[in-house]
Amino acid sequence: MSTLALTPRQPVPALNIPLVGCGRYVLGATPAPTFDLVVFYRGLHCPICAKYLMELERLMPEFEKRGVQVVAASSDNAERGQAMADKIKAEHLRVGYELSLQSARQWGLYISASRGQTSIGIEEPELFSEPGVFIVRPDGTLYYGSTQTMPFARPQFQDLLGAIDFAVAKDYPARGEYTGAL
């Protein structure tokens, strides 16, 4: 089955996942004033994900100042989700877990099969999703999306902050929405 791309200015799939600590993240239940930033990561086994999420944690006050709600999510179980939150010292970043692979596929994420232990000695899950970063408008439509087939070369959060500032200041519309004949 191929990965489906989401279309800007169209509704994104539902997202309802448990959060480390307590509670749930339900996209759209309490929309952010500006955007929701949804960051899908591979899981505890990925050292690149940990570094990426540490940077996101560091920049959380900047996103909050701009009215952006942020969640990071993976298909890890509760124990591994907690271990990742501990590893990145998450104080502001909400870390979700138990993302179903069906939901990951609805979001257009690529799915990988385990290759055993990673370079940091943690076993990969049998199946897991590759990274994706999405910015969602308060009305539940896609503003920005990026998916990867590998853990490398992800969008940088500092760049996304600049893009959010520009988008808000210029009322810049979501792009890539055309789906007609070519």
> What is the spatial distance between Cα 151 and Cα 133, in angstroms, rounded to a whole number?
12
Cross-strand pairs, 19: 96
> At a CB cut-off of 8 Å and minimum separation 6, what does 86 contact?
none
Looking at residue 175, its pLDDT comes to: 96
Q: Is residue 157 part of a domain?
A: yes
Distance, CA of 105 to chain centre: 13
Domain of 117, in residue numbers = 16-22+32-168
Q: How many domains are contained in the chain? A: 1
Looking at residue 168, its pLDDT comes to: 98
Q: Is residue 130 part of a domain?
A: yes
Q: Is residue 118 part of a domain?
A: yes
Q: Is residue 5 part of a domain?
A: no
Q: Is residue 177 part of a domain?
A: no
Instruction: Give the predicted TM-score (pTM) of the model.
Output: 0.96
Q: Is residue 147 part of a domain?
A: yes
What CATH number has the domain bearing residue 128?
A: 3.40.30.10
> What is the spatial distance between Cα 33 and Cα 39, in angstroms, rounded to a whole number?
18
Determine how β-strand 16-18 pairs with β-strand 132-136. Answer: unpaired
Tens-binned pLDDT, residue by residue, of the chain (182 aa): 445 689 999 999 999 999 999 999 999 999 999 999 999 999 999 999 999 999 999 999 999 999 999 999 999 999 999 999 999 999 999 999 999 999 999 999 999 999 998 888 999 999 999 999 999 999 999 999 999 999 999 999 999 999 999 999 999 999 999 999 99
Q: Is residue 181 part of a domain?
A: no
Q: Is residue 8 part of a domain?
A: no
Looking at residue 5, its pLDDT comes to: 83
